[in-house]
Chains A and B, each alone.
Chain A
Amino acid sequence: KNEVEQSPQNLTAQEGEFITINCSYSVGISALHWLQQHPGGGIVSLFMLSSGKKKHGRLIATINIQEKHSSLHITASHPRDSAVYICAVRFNNDMRFGAGTRLTVKP
C-alpha cells in the first residue's frame, strides 16, 4: 500500500479554470511538500506545509493534519501550469512520494 495517494492521476482543464489536486497520506508526518515537474524533467519545490494554508501567486496549498489530507489549488489556470504535480510527505528521516498528477491546461 502506498503511503501517499494522489488524485486525480490525470487532469485536463481549459485555460482560466480553477484546479484542485488532492493528496491523502496514511502516516504521521512532520511536513508535506508539493513539487512541480515540467515536461523537461526538472523538479521544483512549490510548498512545504506542516499546518494551515500557504499561498504563492495563483497557487494555494492547504493541509488538514487530523484528516491526513492536503490540497493544491491553482486559480486562473494557464497552459504554462501544465506539468506533473507531486505530493511528498516527510516522516522520521524518510520521504515518501505520491505517483503524481499530470495536469494539462489547454488554451
Chain B
Amino acid sequence: IAGITQAPTSQILAAGRRMTLRCTQDMRHNAMYWYRQDLGLGLRLIHYSNTAGTTGKGEVPDGYSVSRANTDDFPLTLASAVPSQTSVYFCASSEDMNTEAFFGQGTRLTVV
C-alpha cells in the first residue's frame, strides 16, 4: 500500500442494504475524512476523525457512520442505503487538521 487506498472502486447496491466503504492509509496520518461529491454540489464533508479513537460529524452526516479503531483505517458505513446516497465518495487523510490532505481514488456508489 502506498498512500491512501479506498475499496471498492465502484459498487451498485440495492436500496435498504448495508454497505461499508473501506479506507486505509499508510502515512501514519492522525486526521482522516470522508467526503461525498455530487454534480453541482461539489465535495461535502460527511465525517472526520482528528485522531484514532475519535470521530466527528461534518456537513452531511445523516445516514452514515464511521469508526476509527486505529490510525490506519477509517471505514464509512451506510446502515440502510437509499438512492440519495448515490455519489462518489472520497476518503482523505492529513498529518493533522491544519496540513494538506491526501485523497484516495474515490468510490463510485450507485444505490438502486
Q: Which residues of A contact B (CB under 8 A)?
A: 30-31, 33, 35, 41-45, 47-48, 86, 88, 90, 93-100
Q: How far is the CA of A41 from the CA of B103 in the complex (A)?
A: 11
Contact status A94-B43, CB under 8 Å: no
Q: Which residues of B contact A (CB under 8 A)?
A: 33, 40-45, 48, 50, 56, 58-59, 88, 90, 92, 97-103, 105-106
Give the residues in chain A near B41, CB-CB below 8 Å: 99
Contact status B42-A90, CB under 8 Å: no
Q: Nearest Cβ in chain B — how far from A6, in angstroms?
A: 9
Given known A-B contacts A30-B98, A33-B100, A42-B103, A93 and B50 have beta carbons under 8 A apart: yes
Q: Nearest Cβ in chain B — how far from A83, in angstroms?
A: 14
* A-B pairs under 8 A by CB, number: 48
Residue of A whose beta carbon sits closest to that of B88: A41
Q: Nearest Cβ in chain B — how far from A48, in angstroms?
A: 4
Contact status A94-B45, CB under 8 Å: yes
Contact status A42-B101, CB under 8 Å: no
Give the residues in chain B near A93, CB-CB below 8 Å: 48, 50, 56, 97
Other A-B contacts than A41-B106, A48-B99, A94-B59, 17 sampled, CB-CB below 8 A, are: A33-B100, A41-B105, A42-B105, A43-B92, A43-B103, A45-B101, A45-B102, A47-B100, A86-B42, A88-B43, A93-B50, A93-B56, A94-B45, A95-B45, A96-B45, A97-B44, A99-B40
